[in-house]
Amino acid sequence: MMAVILLLAIAAMAQEKGTAYCTLKEIEKGWKTKPITNVINGSLGIMLERFDQTWPTWMVGAVRNTMEKGLDKEVLDDETELTIIVDAINGYVEVSDAGTDGEYMTACVWNRSNGHKLLAVCMGDPTDPFIEFVCFYDYDSQQRTLTPEPDILTGFRKWTTQDPYFCRLPRKGKNLVIDDWGDGDHVLHTFTWDGMKPVYKSTKPAE
């Protein structure tokens, strides 16, 4: 019930501001070609705010609400365990439940060796049709822009099937891991941080 009340409140605020939520399909299709401007600093909260103003969703709206309360964890629904995690120290946020097939999202930020930042926002919905994608942006403090970098997650698949895979953005450390069920096997693809981006390193069977 609390989750429903919260989501209705967030939806009401969005309507007051004249915005409507985007579907995940719309975001997946459009984010790669749409830079985000007027990003006043490179904090995770500000970058997510501008992302949400460009591609509004209830999930990022709920994360922003939790961040504004100064909380590092908020349970929106005890029954489904719908929970928001805000790990400001590690530059990480998460919206997830106990496997009830609801939409989910994670986001994190890396510091790049050239003084920029790399923002990643992973969004998904496990119901049919399954969808998951990761939006990567370069943050330039001089230009105050988030520029899409759509070609980071490449080189990890040896086949062309459309089986689902799940991206684990790092909460601790810098490596990114993809759970992949393609080709009939469950394997883990590891991407290691090279100072500028996660780079594909290895594929191993999941234990």
Which residue blocks in 58-146 are alpha helix, DSSP H?
Answer: 58-68
2-12: average pLDDT: 45
- The rounded distance, in Å, linking the Cα atoms of 135 and 118 is 10
pTM of the model: 0.88
End-to-end CA distance of the chain: 38
Q: How much is the pLDDT for 9?
A: 46
pLDDT at 72: 96
* 99: confidence class by pLDDT, cuts 50, 70, 90: confident
The average confidence (pLDDT) of the chain is: 88
Q: Measured between alpha carbons, how far is 204 from 181 in angstroms, rounded to an integer?
A: 12
Higher pLDDT, 14 or 69: 69
Kind and range of the H or E run holding 45: helix 44-54
Q: Which of 143, 189, 65 is nearest to 57 (CA)?
A: 65
In sequence order, the β-bridge partners of residue 203 are 189
**Does the pLDDT of residue 48 top 60, yes or no?**
yes
* Separation of alpha carbons 205 and 186, rounded Å: 6
Q: Which of 34, 22, 23 is nearest to 149 (CA)?
A: 34
The pLDDT of 138-161, averaged and rounded, is 84
pLDDT value for 128: 80
In the numeric block, which tokens belong to residue 70?
């100064």
Band (pLDDT 50/70/90 cuts) for residue 163 is low
What pLDDT was estimated at residue 183? 66
In this structure, which long-range contacts are made by residues 139-143, counting pairs with CB atoms below 8 Å and at least 24 apart in sequence? 139/39, 139/42, 139/47, 139/109, 140/116, 141/41, 141/42, 141/115, 141/116
The pLDDT, as a whole number, for residue 187 is 87
Exposed / middle / buried, residue 177 (Cβ in 10 Å: 0-12, 13-18, 19+): middle
Give pLDDT tens digits for 64-95.
Answer: 999 999 999 999 999 999 999 999 999 999 99
Alpha-carbon distance of 71 to 63, in angstroms, equals: 10
Q: Per-residue pLDDT for 13 more than 60?
A: no
| 4 has a pLDDT exceeding 50 | no
Q: How far, in Å, CA of 101 to CA of 15, rounded?
A: 26
Confidence band, pLDDT 50/70/90 cuts, at residue 129: confident
Cβ neighbours for 149, distance < 8 A, ≥ 6 positions apart: 118, 136, 137, 138, 197
